[in-house]
Amino acid sequence: MGTLTAGLLLAWLAAGFPAFAARPARARAEPPIILNVVHQKLKPGTTHSYEALETSIVDAYKQANVQVFWIMLQSRTDATDIVYLNVAASLDEWEAMAGRYRKAAAAHPELDKMSARLATFIERSTSTLTTRRDEIPFGRTATELQSMNALRLTVFEVNAGHEGRFVNGARTAAASGAPWLLYEANDAPRFMLLAPLKSPPRLKAARELPRRLRELNEGLSPSLDQVYAVRRHMSHPPKGWFR
C-alpha cells in the first residue's frame, strides 16, 4: 500500500498536481435581454404578512415545479418599497411565461388563490417591460445580476424624441466599461440603470450617477434612485442565479 501511495504521489507530481488543480474559472453570465421590472408599494403594516405569504408561494412553486421565475428585492430604507425582476432571453420566451403560468394555475388552483391574497397587501404597482441596450459595455469586473446581493435601480423619464441623446450620453459615460446595465422600456421613453452590487453600500457611500448623464441639459433627473437588497427566500430564480 505504501509503494502504491508513493507511486500515485509521484504521478501527480509529474502531471503538475492535477488532482489538486484549481477549478477552471466560471464563465461570465450574459445579462438577460428582456427584463420586466415590477415596482410595488405595500400597504402600511403588511410587510411581515407579505413576507410570510410570499415565502409560502415560493415553496409552492418549487414543489409544483412551475417554470415561472422572479427575483424579489426590498428597499434598505423602506420595507414597503419592493421590486421584482422577471427575466427572459427573448420576447417569445417572455410571452411563453404567461402560458406556463395559466397551465400551472389550472393544475394547481392554490397558486392563483395565494397570489390573489398577496395582491391584497399591495397599495400600488407598476410593471415595465424593458429590453437591454447592449451597445453599452458592461464592466468585466462588475458584479453580475446573477450573483448580486443588492441592486441600485435608477429610472429616467426622458422626453419623447430624446431617447437617442440619452443613449449617447450613457454610451459616453460607459466608454471604458460601466458597473451598470442600461434597459429601455418597450412602450415608453423610460430608461433604467441597474447597478448589481455584492452587498448594499452604506447610505452615504452610494456612488454618484455618471457625470455625463447628470450634465444632460434637458432638466433630466431620475424619477427613482434607490438601493434594494435581494431577498432570496422570497425569490424563485431561474437556473444559474444566486451562484
Residue 173: Cβ within 10 Å count: 20
Q: What pLDDT score does 168 carry? A: 85
Query: Does 202 have pLDDT greater than 70?
Result: no
In the chain, how many domains are there? Answer: 1
Assigned domain for 18 exists:
no
Nearest of 197, 207, 206 to residue 151 by alpha carbon:
197
Assigned domain for 16 exists:
no
Assigned domain for 10 exists:
no
Backbone phi, psi, residue 42, to 5°: -85, 155
Q: Which residue has cell 435581454?
A: 33
Assigned domain for 152 exists:
yes
Amino acid at 154: T
Q: What range defines the domain where residue 216 resides?
A: 34-234
Burial class (CB within 10 angstroms; exposed 0-12, middle 13-18, buried 19+) of 171: middle
Query: Does 93 have pLDDT greater than 80?
Result: yes
Q: What pLDDT score does 140 carry? A: 74
How confident is residue 8, by pLDDT bands cut at 50, 70 and 90? Answer: very low
Percent of the chain, pLDDT > 90? Answer: 58
Assigned domain for 4 exists:
no
Assigned domain for 20 exists:
no
Q: What pLDDT score does 175 carry? A: 73
* Interval 54-79: pLDDT, tens: 999 999 999 999 999 999 999 988 99
Residue 243: Cβ within 10 Å count: 10
Q: Which residue has cell 477552471?
A: 24
How confident is residue 27, by pLDDT bands cut at 50, 70 and 90? Answer: low
Nearest of 127, 140, 153, 132 to residue 70 by alpha carbon:
127
Assigned domain for 241 exists:
no
Q: What is the pTM of this model?
A: 0.83
Q: Would you state the cell numbers that stand for residue 130, as one nine-digit string?
A: 424593458
Q: Would you state the cell numbers that stand for residue 120, as one nine-digit string?
A: 391584497
How confident is residue 212, by pLDDT bands cut at 50, 70 and 90? Answer: low
Beta bridge partners of 72: 84
Assigned domain for 159 exists:
yes
136: domain CATH number? Answer: 3.30.70.100
